[in-house]
Amino acid sequence: MPERISFQDEIEKNKIKSFLLIAIIFVFFIVLGYVISLVLDPSYFFIIMIFSIIFSLIYVLAGYYNSDKIAIASVRAKPASRTEHRALFNAAEGISLASGLPMPRLYVMDSEEINAFASGRDPKNAVLCFTTGALKKLNKQELEGVVAHEMSHIANYDIRFMTLTVVLIGMVSIIAQMFLRSLWFSGGRDERDGRAQLVLILIGILFAILAPIASQLVSFAISRKREYAVDASGVKFTRFPPGLANALRKIKGEHVREESRPRISKAMAPLFISDPFKKKVQNLFSTHPPIDDRIKKLEAM
C-alpha cells in the first residue's frame, strides 16, 4: 500500500520549488551583469541593463495583457456552444462553484488529440480551450478533472508567474546579446593587463552564451514543477483524483496521426495539460513531467 500524499502538501512543496527556480534565473541575471561589469566600463554596463529591462518589460507586458487573445488566436479556436458543448459548460460551471472562481470563457479548437489549456492574466480575464478530441473521448469525471486542472492554473496565477520567468529570461538573453555584440566594437579597458583582460573576456563570452540556455532550462523545470502543483490543486476542487488520472491515461494511450495534429507554436506548449509535440523521450527540454509520474502522484492522494 503506497504512502498517501496530501494534495495540500504537494501544492506547497511544488510552489516552493518553483520560487527557488525563479531565484536561480535571477542569480544568472546578477552574475552575468557582474561578469560584464568586469569586462566593460561599469557605466556602459548600466546602460545595457536599463535598455534590456525596459525592452523586456514592454515586450512581455504587451503579451501578458493580451495573453488570452493571443493564445486563442494562435490555435484558431472558436467560442464553445452551450448547446453543442453542454458537457464542457456543465463541468466548468461546477468547478467554478467549487473553486469560487469566476466562470471562464470557453473555447474549442479542432484537434483529434485529447488536450486543453488555460490562459489569461487573472481569473476575471481567463479562458479555457479544449480540443474536440477531449470533448469526444473524456467521460464526465475525466472532463471535470481536466477542467479542474486548467482552472487551477487560473487560481494559482500561473500566467503571471510564467510571465515573470519570461521577463527574467528575456533580460538575461538581451544583456548577453548586447555584450557579445559590443565585443566587436570594443577591446575592453585599455589600462588593464592584456592577459587578464583576455581571460575576463573569454569568461564573459562563455557565460553570455551559456546563461540564456541555462535560464531556458530552468524555465522548463519550472513548467514541469507547476504541472505537479496544478494536478494537486485540481484534486482540491474535485476531491476525486481518479478523474484526472484516468484522463492522463487516455492521453498517454492515444495514437493520433502526425498529419492530423494541429500546428502549435512551441511557445504555447507549456500551457497545455500535456505536451502537444508528444516527445517520446523526457529530457531537460521537456515542458511537462512524465505522465506516469503524474498518475502515480494522483493515485497516492
Q: What is the CATH number of the domain that holds 282?
A: 3.30.2010.10
Q: Which residues are catalytic?
A: 150
Residues 173 and 147 in one domain: no
Inside any domain, residue 62:
yes
Residues 84 and 94 in one domain: yes
Inside any domain, residue 80:
yes
Residues with Cβ within 8 Å of 262's Cβ and at least 6 positions away in sequence, in order, are 75, 76, 109, 110, 111, 276
Q: Which of 180, 212, 244 is the last residue of a domain?
A: 212
- Grid cell, residue 266, equals 512551441
Residues 228 and 285 in one domain: yes
Residues 27 and 148 in one domain: no
Phi-psi region of 104 (alpha: psi -120 to 50; beta: other; left: phi over 0): beta
**Per-residue pLDDT, 188:** 47
Residues 33 and 150 in one domain: no
Residues 153 and 233 in one domain: yes
Inside any domain, residue 218:
no
Cα distance between residue 159 and residue 74, in whole Å:
16
Residues 87 and 56 in one domain: no
- Contact by Cβ (8 Å): 153, 101: no
Residues 84 and 142 in one domain: yes
Residue-wise pLDDT tens for the chain (301 aa)? 445 655 566 556 656 766 776 677 777 767 777 776 666 666 666 776 677 667 666 766 676 677 788 889 889 999 999 999 999 999 999 999 999 999 999 999 999 999 999 988 788 889 999 999 999 999 999 999 999 999 998 888 877 777 667 666 767 777 777 777 766 655 544 444 566 667 767 777 777 787 778 777 877 887 888 898 889 888 989 999 999 999 999 999 887 666 666 677 777 888 899 888 776 666 777 888 999 999 999 998 8
Residues 127 and 235 in one domain: yes
Inside any domain, residue 1:
no
Inside any domain, residue 264:
yes
Determine the residue type at 189. R
Determine the residue type at 152. S
Residues 248 and 292 in one domain: yes
- Contact by Cβ (8 Å): 264, 276: yes
**Per-residue pLDDT, 77:** 94
- Contact by Cβ (8 Å): 276, 269: yes
**Per-residue pLDDT, 1:** 43
Exposure on the CB side of residue 232, measured as CA atoms within 13 A: 22
CB atoms within 10 A of CB 50: 10
| Domain extent at residue 171 | 7-67+160-212
What is 23-66 written as a DSSP string? HHHHHHHHHHHHHHHHHS-HHHHHHHHHHHHHHHHHHHHHHHHT
The arrangement of strands across the sheet holding 127-131 comes to: 78-79, 105-109, 127-131, 116-119
Inside any domain, residue 49:
yes
Number of independent structural domains in the chain: 2
Inside any domain, residue 55:
yes
Residues 39 and 63 in one domain: yes
Residues 244 and 280 in one domain: yes
- Contact by Cβ (8 Å): 134, 143: yes
Q: Which of 189, 212, 235 is the last residue of a domain?
A: 212
Inside any domain, residue 2:
no
Q: Which of 146, 181, 212 is the last residue of a domain?
A: 212
